[in-house]
Every structure is written in structure tokens, then in C-alpha cells.
Structure 1
């Protein structure tokens, strides 16, 4: 189990961080739950390293989707705001507004479409890697990427942001 953790901890944590909009505590909770599920299901965990990673990412993705659904069922709390996410730049206000627009656009996507965009563009994963970790064909990953980018672009254009 230690080898599974060592080999997958960093990429899995980055993946979860993107899925939960940078909320560190939520990503850590999901990471711990993912590793706990792996430990409880050692007999189901594939022996191959790549297959293990796909299994872990699939479990993590499903947990993140469940957490998102639960979070959407309750109103946001003031404590959910993370002041550490404000970027440092020459025009801080513009950067904050751009980031907020992009976050809003990503939140409007389905969890499946958001997962594909996060993996492809934030984590620099290949289409094959995303397909393997989500359990869908490569063509579906390409299609989801196309439609997700189109949706984000349309949202940003309507909101007055840069596409």
C-alpha cells in the first residue's frame, strides 16, 4: 500500500485539487478517502502500476462528483472562500475577475466535461491518459473536450471576458 501511495500521491492530489476548484481541504479529504478505499479494497486493486493509477483516478473522480453533488445541495458558506487563491499580478483586479469568470465557466460544465478539461489543460495529460483514467474511449474524451471548450468560450464571450 505504501508503494501505491508513493507512486500516485502527487498526481492524484493535483487532479483532486483541480476538480474541487483549488480548495485544499476538500482535495485532502477526497485524497484520504480515495486511499482509504484502496486500502479497504486491496484485493480489487490491480497489480499493474498504470492500472492502479486508473483505478485510483476513477475512484477519486467518483468521490469528487459525489462531493460536488452534496455541496450543490447546500448553500455556500463564508468559510468556503479561500483568500489564498488571489493571483499576484500588475493588475490584480483584472486577474481576479478573469479567474472568477473562468471558475464560473468551469462550474457550469458537467463533472465529466470539467474532468476532461482539467486533466488535459491543467495537468497536461494526454487524451489516452484521460481516457484510461475516466474509463471512456479516446473519441469521447476528444468530444467532451471540444464541447467543454466551446461552452467555456461561449460563456466567457457572453460575460464579456476574453475567450
Structure 2
């Protein structure tokens, strides 16, 4: 950009930026958007040097018309029609539960492959959080049998999971 062009642009900005900004703010009510419209208007004036040679009243009319048209174009744009402002933040995404769901499905499927006796003892101990004495009392079997079923049931469960592609460690 030549020195005289830079000077002309500075003068244009100095003479019209505040006037344009106040005009645009009355229409859009958003500081950032008003600044963008003023900047674009002055840029378009600089890109059309023949406009800068006009009388001040004609130049002013041209600038205000360009600014108004930029605002109207924005109002008609798809962005303006389909987007809306809000004072609420979007939902905060939670942790991805996919792995947990898949693991639960795999364990459930593997549990179904066990005998009903082994499955019931494991279900009560691990899902119910019960100790061997209370399981033995409820199932009316010796506590040693509960321990044995837990041991062999967990071993069978580990094998069933390995068959489904789940590694032990």
C-alpha cells in the first residue's frame, strides 16, 4: 500500500468510523458485530477508490448504504436464521460409558454360560455385596459349599470371558 493510500484510509477511518459505528449499533445492538460491519464498510470503500473521490455527503451516503446492506445481508443469511444466542452453556459431556456398557454385556453373557448354582453365588457375592455366611444361610447350603462354588464359578467365568476375547490381565 502506498503512503498516500494509507493516509487516505486513515482519514476515511478518522472521519467516518465513529459515525458508522453509532449508526450500526442502533441496528444490531452488539458491539463486536458493529465493529465488524464498520470495518467491512471501510474496507469496501478503500477497494473502490472512485467512491473516495466523491463529495463528503455522497461518500457518507454510500458508506451508510453499504453498512445497512451488510446488516441486511447478515439478517437474511442462513447463519442468522438458524443460530440463536443463549446465556446458557451447552451440556457438559460426561465420560464415555461405552466401555463400561460393553464390559457389563460381556460379563452378563459369560455369566449366562455358568451353571445356575455358580451364577447365583457369584451374583449374590459380587452384585449383592454379601458375605459367604449370609449367602449360605439364604441358599440353605454349607458355607464351605458357597466358597467352593465361588472359586469354581469365578474360574469358569474367567474362561468364558477369555473365550469371548477378554484377556485376563
TM-score bracket for this pair, using the shorter chain length: 0.3 to 0.5
TM-score (norm 1): 0.44
